[in-house]
Amino acid sequence: MKNKIIPFSPPDISRKEIKEVIKTLKSGWLTTGPKTKEFEKEISDYCNTEKTLCLNSATACLELLLKLFKFDKNDEIITTPYTYCSTPNSILHTGAKIVFVDIKKDDFNIDPFQLKKAITKKTKAVISVDIGGYPVDYDEINEILEENKKKFKPKKKSLQEYLDKPIFISDAAHSFGATYKNKKIGGISDFTIFSFHATKNLTTGEGGALTYNSFSDIDCEYIYQQLKLLSLHGQSKDAYAKLKTGAWKYSVDLAGYKYNLTDIASSIGLAQLKRYDKEIISKRKALFEFYKNQFINDYRFIIPQYKNNLKESSYHLFQLRINNINEKARDLIIEKMAKINISLNVHFIPIIMQPVYQKLGYDIKDYPNTYNMYKNEISLPIYSKMNKNDAKYVADRLKKII
C-alpha cells in the first residue's frame, strides 16, 4: 500500500476567497484602500474592540507599537521563551532588555506567579503569547500590572506619560477566535496582535492586525493615526487619500517604515472571516476532539490543555506530549513519521536555545518548565480541510512508531 501524504497545515482557500480576490483585481485598486478599511471594521466587530489596524504582518504590528511608545535601552520588556522569534526579535530592535519569564508546568503559557516576581521599576511592557491558541491567564496578568502601578516610571516627552503602568500586549498570533470568559481575544489586554500568515488559522497569505480600545486617556483614533503614519514612510496621506483629483500634496513628517497591507490580501481575509466560525474553527475543533479521544486513555501521551471554565482555544495547534522521552527520541519519532510522508512539527524550539539569544547570555537551564514542555512536544497536523480518516491514520501510525 502506498503511504498517504499528510501535510502539516495547508491553507484553506475556497472559491469564495478566489472570487473576492478577482473582484479586487478588477476594481482597479490593489494597495491599501477600501477593502483594508472594511477588513479592519469586520475584525473590530468580530473581536468586539474599538479599533483595528491591519498591517502586512503581526511582526510589523508589534514592532510599530513598541516604536510608538519609544521603549529603549533603559527599559525592560517581559516575555516568554516559549514563542516564535518574532516576539523577542521585535523587543531586541527597540534596544530594551528582554526579561524572559518561564512558562507554567502544565501548559505552554507564561507563568503569572513568576511574572509577578520579574517586574521591576524598569518594566515597561509585558508581551504574553497564547501558544497554540490557548489563552493566557489574562485576569492574573492584568491584576499583577495593576498591583505594581507604584513602581512604574514612564519616560518623559513620550506617549508613555499617559500610562500609569506597563502595557500588556498579547501576542495572539495563534488565538484569533479563542475566548476568555466568553469574550473573544482582542480587547482583554491593552493591545492584541494577530497573524494572518499562511500557516495560521485565518490567512491573507501574509498579514497581521492590531486590536485595542482607548485606555488611560489615550484615544484609540490617535494611536491609529500615529501607527498609520509610521507604517507608510511617515507620509501624511496614503495612496488612497491622494487618489482624489487634485489632492496630490503630501508631507513626510517622520522617517517611517513600509508595512501596509494590500487590498488584495484584505479581500482574502474578508472571505476567510465570513467562513471562519462555521467552516474553519469548528472543523479544527472537531479534529482536535478526535485526536484527544485517540490519545487520552493511553498512558504514553499527555493531551494539551485547550478548554476550562474560563477559556477556550482557537484550536490552532494540537501540541501532544510523549511521556518519558527525551529530545533525541522525540526527534527520531518525527523523522520516522516523515519517512512515511506525515509532516509533524515542534512548537517551538525555545527562543533562548537559538544562537542569537545564546550569544546574549540567556541559558535554557534557567527555564526548566520551558525545556520540559519542549523536549517531548510534537505538534500533529491539524487543518480545516483534513478529515477524520486522515487524523485516525496519523494517530495510528504515531502509536505504532512510538
Ligand X SMILES: *Cc1c(COP(=O)(O)O)cnc(C)c1O
By the 8 A CB rule, do 379 and 347 touch?
yes
Phi, psi of 134 (to 5 degrees): -90, 115
Nearer to ligand X, 130 or 390 (CB): 130
- Per the structure block, which three cell numbers stand in for 235? 507620509
Among 58, 98, 115, 169, binds ligand X (CB under 6 A): 58
Establish if 283 lies at the interface with ligand X (CB under 6 A): no
Establish if 145 lies at the interface with ligand X (CB under 6 A): no
Listed in sequence order, the residues at least 6 apart from 325 whose beta carbon sits closer than 8 Å to its beta carbon are 333, 375, 376
Q: Is 378 left (phi over 0), alpha (psi -120 to 50) or beta?
A: beta
Among 88, 132, 208, 350, binds ligand X (CB under 6 A): 208
Least spacing, CB of residue 192 vs ligand X, in Å: 12
Least spacing, CB of residue 372 vs ligand X, in Å: 20
Establish if 83 lies at the interface with ligand X (CB under 6 A): yes
Establish if 197 lies at the interface with ligand X (CB under 6 A): yes
Least spacing, CB of residue 76 vs ligand X, in Å: 20
Least spacing, CB of residue 183 vs ligand X, in Å: 21
Among 36, 79, 87, 369, binds ligand X (CB under 6 A): 87
Establish if 171 lies at the interface with ligand X (CB under 6 A): yes
Nearer to ligand X, 58 or 167 (CB): 58
In whole angstroms, what is the distance from residue 396 CA to residue 402 CA? 10
Among 43, 65, 129, 391, binds ligand X (CB under 6 A): 129
Establish if 86 lies at the interface with ligand X (CB under 6 A): yes
Listed in sequence order, the residues at least 6 apart from 263 whose beta carbon sits closer than 8 Å to its beta carbon are 24, 27, 29, 30, 31, 32, 33, 34, 35, 36
Least spacing, CB of residue 86 vs ligand X, in Å: 4
Burial-class residue 276 by CB neighbours within 10 Å (0-12, 13-18, 19+).
Answer: buried
Question: Given the DSSP bridges, would you call strands 377-380 and 123-129 parallel, antiparallel or unpaired?
Answer: unpaired
Q: Is the peptide bond before 100 cis (omega within 30 degrees of 0)?
A: no
Establish if 169 lies at the interface with ligand X (CB under 6 A): no
Establish if 176 lies at the interface with ligand X (CB under 6 A): no
In whole angstroms, what is the distance from residue 22 CA to residue 309 CA? 43
Stretch that binds ligand X, among 42-50, 82-90, 364-372, 391-399 (CB under 6 A): 82-90
Least spacing, CB of residue 396 vs ligand X, in Å: 29
In whole angstroms, what is the distance from residue 345 CA to residue 370 CA? 17
Stretch that binds ligand X, among 22-30, 51-59, 133-141, 330-338 (CB under 6 A): 51-59
Among 29, 46, 69, 84, binds ligand X (CB under 6 A): 84
Stretch that binds ligand X, among 78-86, 98-106, 255-263, 283-291 (CB under 6 A): 78-86
Least spacing, CB of residue 10 vs ligand X, in Å: 16
Stretch that binds ligand X, among 3-11, 169-177, 272-280, 366-374 (CB under 6 A): 169-177
Stretch that binds ligand X, among 34-42, 167-175, 226-234, 275-283 (CB under 6 A): 167-175
Nearer to ligand X, 137 or 171 (CB): 171
In whole angstroms, what is the distance from residue 72 CA to residue 93 CA? 9
Check the CA dihedral 75-81-84-89 and report its sign: positive
Establish if 376 lies at the interface with ligand X (CB under 6 A): no
In whole angstroms, what is the distance from residue 176 CA to residue 196 CA? 9
In whole angstroms, what is the distance from residue 133 CA to residue 139 CA? 17
Listed in sequence order, the residues at least 6 apart from 362 whose beta carbon sits closer than 8 Å to its beta carbon are 81, 100, 352
10 Å Cβ neighbour count for 117? 10
What is the binding site for ligand X (CB under 6 A)?
A: 57-59, 83-84, 86-87, 129, 171, 173-174, 195, 197, 208
